[in-house]
């Protein structure tokens, strides 16, 4: 076996682990991006709900003040 044959076999044997690593990287990247997007959307929804609750409280307080309570 010559050096070139040995190097060729070495490179060919590295292809499967490299492909598995790339697949793993793509899957993990998509999971982390989905998580980040989900957290961002959840934070926006929570902020909207808090603003709506605050508007409701302010509206009730103004109504109570107008009634003299």
The tens digit of pLDDT for each residue in 7-50 reads 899 999 999 999 999 999 999 999 999 999 999 999 999 999 99
Taking the mean position of all CA atoms in its chain, how far away is CA 68? Answer: 49
Phi/psi of residue 51, nearest 5 degrees: -65, -40
More confident residue, 42 or 59: 42
59: confidence class by pLDDT, cuts 50, 70, 90: confident
DSSP state of 2: -
Q: Evaluate if pTM is beyond 0.85.
A: no
Q: Is residue 68 pLDDT above 70, yes or no? A: no
DSSP 5-66: HHHHHHHHHHHHHHHHHHHHHHHHHHHHHHHHHHHHHHHHHHHHHHHHHHHHHHHHHHHHHH
């Amino acid at each position: 076996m010559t050096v070139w044959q040995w190097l060729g076999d070495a490179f060919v044997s590295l292809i499967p682990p490299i492909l598995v690593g790339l697949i793993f990287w793509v899957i993990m990247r998509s999971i982390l991006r989905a998580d980040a997007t989900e957290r961002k959307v959840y934070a926006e929804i929570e902020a909207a709900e808090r603003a709506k609750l605050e508007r409701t409280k302010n509206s009730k307080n103004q109504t109570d003040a107008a009634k003299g309570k």
